[in-house]
Structure 1
Amino acid sequence: MKQTNTLPQKTRQFFVILMPMLITQLTMFGMTFFDTFMSGHASAGDLAGVAIGTSIWIPVQTGLNGILFAVTPMVAQLVGANRRASVPHTVMQGIYLAVALSVAVMLVGLLVVNPLLNTMTLENSVRQTAHGFLFAIGAGILPMFVYTVLRSFMDGLGQTRMTMRITLISLPVNGVLNYFFIFGKMGFPHLGGVGAGVASALTYWVVCLIAFGVITKFKPFSEYRIIQQLHRISFAAWKDQLKIGLPIGFAIFFETSIFAAVTLLMSEFNTVTIAAHQAAINFASFLYMVPMSISFALTILVGFEAGARRYKDARQYSYLGLSVAIGMAVVCAVFLYLFSDAVAGIYTKDRDVLELMQQFLLYAIFFQLSDAIAAPIQGALRGYKDVNVTLIVALVSYWVIGLPLGYICTHYTSLGAFGYWIGLITGLAFGAAGLYARLLHVQRLRARVRA
């Protein structure tokens, strides 16, 4: 990364950071897509089981990954402030924290997965698939969290192309392993939806090992000598990271868990409804990779400029990213409206699931604009290391407004399962408005400091 002085220069640097980030996010999403897509072609029961398992797993994964994402703005600000010597210590403490979180998650999982699944009204085959999927993917928690730290280090340096290359390797690996374990090909056991969890866990190990090789062998990462130096565990450093990471993680958790909660609440409906809902959410999440990637790019760029106290440049990057996200949201919404039938056909051949999914996808259109505003603003605020209000906004908009409204619409109107989607859309809209107000406030404060 380098200082920019004009809008064309900023636009060029923005896309240099963004495009590899977008490819990375789409590739990472591809793993979840393969899980859903290939499980759906195994059977509707496997698809529903993976849907339930994923709905429990994703909030844990994204929430705790959010804590570790704090490494990105920390590294970006250190580089912007020309304090590069402090980067190795920050990254190693992130790795230590990732290991501690992994152990904690695995222990909690052993205690709560069975009781949680038993509280749901699920067909026996669906419950068994969800249980097996969760325990299989649990074997990949440690490498996934450690890789998140290594990826955040590389991204914080602005080297998003390297994380793109590493992540691109994961997609064919995961696809092939899914094929082997879900369908029992090439002599591997036929595990159905459980095989998706096995494939994902193995892929996490492959990617983590590759990332370690990269940071030790290739410049500029090797120049920081991250793992070649001895660093003791520093709880003070953990505290600094958690001050930023916990609000980020909980904000992400509140956002992703609301979708998971809706899927779990869908268990009161039949397997066809669960499968159609999950497939539609899966594709809406695919489209969300665009504003999410813009969010990550803004965290890096705004963090770099804020670290150098160039707040005018940080503000310009914020609005550049926001404008691109809104433009892309319009394109995605039009695509969904015109091709909902083709999209549904990708996921299933079951006519009942296909027809219901098309209806869910029409509601997903309204997700696009709110996501295009909220996600980039979250990224910009993280770049400023302003994360606490984002947490409050996420909690209120999703859990105080969105979910209760969805429950009311589902049980006290004729909307049925679509009522939950109305609640989600409303929560996202309130969240976008609240985050925009916070961004304006933070930028005014930084402008006064600079003055």
Structure 2
Amino acid sequence: MYPAKTLAEKIKLFTTILIPILITQIGMYAMNFFDTVMSGRAGAHDLAGVAIGSSIWVPVFTGINGILIALSPIVAQLMGANKKEDVPEVIRQAIYLSILLAGVVMVAGFFLLDFILSQMDLETGVRDIARHYLMALGAGMIPLFIYNTLRSFIDALGQTRVSMMITLMALPVNVLLNYIFIFGKFGAPALGGIGAGIASSLTYLFAMILSIYMISRHRPFARFHIFTMWKSPSISAWWEQLKIGVPIGFAIFFETSIFAAVTLFISVYDTVTIAAHQAAINFASLLYMMPLSISMALTIAVGFEAGGNRFGDARQYGYIGITIAVVFAVIGGAGIFVFDDQIAALYSNDISVIELTKQFLWFAIFFQLSDAFGAPIQGALRGYKDVHVTLLMAFVSYWVIGLPSGFAIARLTDIGPFGYWIGLITGLAAGAITLFFRLMYIQKRKVRQIGLEEG
């Protein structure tokens, strides 16, 4: 990352950072995509079991990961302020913290998983697959959290191509392991959806080992000597990351958990409805990788410029990111409209599942447009380390407006499960609008602050 002066230079630099992040995010999500698609080929119960398991796992993972990705604006601002000597210890303490968080989640899962699943009206086969799928994922939790911590460090330096290469190397490993454990190849037992969890855990371990190797041996990472001179864990250092990371984590949790809550509410319907909903949400989430990647790139770019008190440049990056996201959202919506048959057929051979998936996909066109505004704005605000008000906005938009309205429409009208999707659209739109006004306020405040200091 370096200061760019003209708009053209900023667009070029932002694109250089964004494209590898996008490829990385698509690659990482493709692991979940292949878990879902390949499990669906094993049977509707396997698809539904992985759907329920994912609905429980994704909010937990993304919420905790929000704490880990707080490392990106911290390191970006240190680099922008030319305080490189402070970076190594920040990374080491973040690794300690990632291991601790993984341990907390694993212990919580041990005591709560059976209770959570027992509260859901699921067929016995679906419940068993969901339970063992999550247990298998839990085995790879520590490598996953360490990898995401290291990836935040890599990306904060602007070296997003390295993360891209690690993910592209890990993806075929994940597909091969899915093939082995889901369908029982090369002497392994055919485990269906449970095998997808085993494959993912082994892939997380592979990605962690690759990232450690790259940071230890290659420039510019090696000059930081991250894996030498270890000190004892520092609660004060953890607190610095937690102050930023916890609000980010909860904001992400509030957004992702609303999707999980909808999946849990839809579990009262039949297996075909659960499978169709999961297929549609899985594909829509794949499209979400574009605004999410833009959000991550904006955190790096805005954080770097804000660290150097170049707030006019930071504002320009924000507008660049939002514009790119909206353009691609329009293209994605058009793609869903034209190719809905082909998209639905990716997930199942069952005609009833395909037809219902298509109907869910049409609603996805609209809420991914809201994501195109909301996600990049969140990324820009994180670059400014403005996270506490964003947390409140996320809670109100998703849990006070989105979910209750969806529940009411689904239960009080003849729309049925589609009502929940209307609620998702409403919540995401409300979030995007409030976040936009918050960004305008922060940008003006930062520029005014510099003016007063110079005066």
The interval holding the TM-score normalised by the smaller chain is over 0.9
Give me the TM-score of the superposition, normalised by structure 1: 0.99
- Structure 2 residue aligned with 1:72: 72
Q: In the TM superposition, what whole-angstrom CA distance separates every residue of 1:311-343 from its partner, at most 9, and x where no partner exists?
A: 000000000101111111111111111111110
Identify the residue that residue 86 of structure 1 maps to in structure 2: 86
- In the alignment, residue 359 of structure 2 is paired with which amino acid? Q
Match of 1:302 in 2: 302
Q: Deviations over 1:243-295 (max 9, x none)?
A: 10000000011100000010011111000000000000000000000000000
Residues 83-122 of structure 1: pairs in structure 2 closer than 5 A: 83-122=83-122
Separation in structure 2 between the aligned mates of residue 368 and residue 197 of structure 1, nearest angstrom: 27
* Other-structure match for 1:11: 11
Q: Report the Cα distance in structure 2 between the residues aligned to 1:419 and 1:132, rounded to whole angstroms.
A: 31
1:2 Cα offset (Å) = 1.1
Q: Which residue of 2 aligns with 1:197?
A: 197
Deviation readout 1:30-63 (Å, 9 max, x if unpaired): 0000110000000000000000000000011111
Question: For the residues of structure 2 that align with 1:251 and 1:25, how far apart are their CA atoms?
Answer: 19
Distance 2:178 2:398 in 1: 33
Which secondary structure does the structure 2 equivalent of 1:365 belong to? Answer: helix
Partner SS for 1:268: coil
Aligned residue number for residue 125 of structure 2: 125
Question: TM-score scaled to structure 2, two decimals?
Answer: 0.99
For residues 450 and 77 of structure 1, the distance between their equivalents in structure 2, rounded to whole angstroms, comes to 16
What CA deviation, in whole Å up to 9, does each residue of 1:197-234 have, x standing for no partner?
Answer: 00000100110011111110000000000011222211
Q: Which residue of 1 aligns with 2:431?
A: 431
Q: In structure 2, how many angstroms separate the alpha carbons of the residues matched to 1:206 and 1:363? A: 37
Amino acid at match of 1:422: I
Q: Counterparts of 2:71 and 2:266 in 1: how far apart (Å)?
A: 36
Give 2:230's aligned residue.
230
Contact 2:94 2:149 in 1 (8 A): yes
Q: 4+ runs of 1 displaced by more than 4 Å?
A: none
SS of the aligned residue for 2:187 comes to coil
Give the structure 2 partner of residue 171 of structure 1: 171
Q: Superposed, which structure 2 residues align to 1:125-274 within 5 Å?
A: 125-274=125-274
> Contact (CA 8 Å) 2:92, 2:230: kept in 1 or not?
no
Q: Which amino acid aligns with 1:219?
A: R
Report if aligned partners of 2:46, 2:192 keep a CA contact under 8 Å in 1: yes
Return the letter of the residue paired with 1:410.
A
Query: Which residue identity lines up with residue 184 of structure 1 in the other structure?
Result: G
User: CA separation in 1, counterparts of 2:75 and 2:408?
Assistant: 44
Contact map agreement 2:138 2:201 (CA 8 A) in 1: yes
Quote the residue 1:328 is aligned against.
328
Q: Distance in 2 between matches of 1:333 and 1:389?
A: 30
SS of the equivalent of 2:2 reads: coil
Aligned to 1:381: 381
Q: Write the distance in 2 (CA, Å) between the matches of 1:201 and 1:382.
A: 29
- Give distance in 2, aligned partners of 1:138 and 1:191: 17
Corresponding position of 1:406: 406
* Per-residue deviation, 1:390: 1.2
Partner Cα distance (1:93, 1:70) in 2: 13
**Using the alignment, how far apart are the partners of 2:55 and 2:413 within structure 1?**
25
**Deviation at residue 169 of structure 1 after TM alignment:** 1.0
CA distance in 1, matches of 2:230, 2:30: 36
Q: 1:49-80 CA distances to partner (integer Å, 9 max, x unpaired)?
A: 00000000001111101101010000000000
Q: Aligned with 1:90: secondary structure?
A: helix
The aligned length equals: 451
* Partner Cα distance (1:336, 1:265) in 2: 25
Q: Which moved more, 1:274-283 or 1:362-371?
A: 362-371
Equivalence for 1:288: 288
Query: What do residues 418-438 of structure 1 show as CA deviations (whole Å, max 9, x unaligned)?
Result: 000010000000000010010
Unaligned runs of 5+ in 2: none
Q: Write the letter of the residue equivalent to 1:66.
A: G
Could you say which residue in structure 1 is the equivalent of 2:448? 448
- In structure 2, distance between residues paired with 1:192 and 1:325: 36
What CA distance in whole angstroms lies between the structure 1 residues aligned with 2:263 and 2:249? Answer: 21
Match of 2:208, SS state, is helix
Opposite residue 343 of structure 2, the aligned amino acid is V
- Aligned match of 2:368: 368
Deviation, 1:389, is 1.2
Whether the aligned pair in 1 keeps the contact of 2:348 and 2:354 (CA below 8 Å) is yes
For the residue of structure 2 that corresponds to 1:366, the secondary structure is helix
- For 2:329 and 2:267, the matched residues in 1 are separated by 30
User: Which letter maps to 1:183?
Assistant: F
CA-to-aligned-CA distance 1:164-220 (integer Å, 9 cap, x gap): 000111110000000000000111111010000000001001100111111100000
Partner-residue secondary structure (3-state), 2:255: helix
Tell me, in whole angstroms, the C-alpha distance in 1 between the residues paired with 2:389 and 2:354: 40
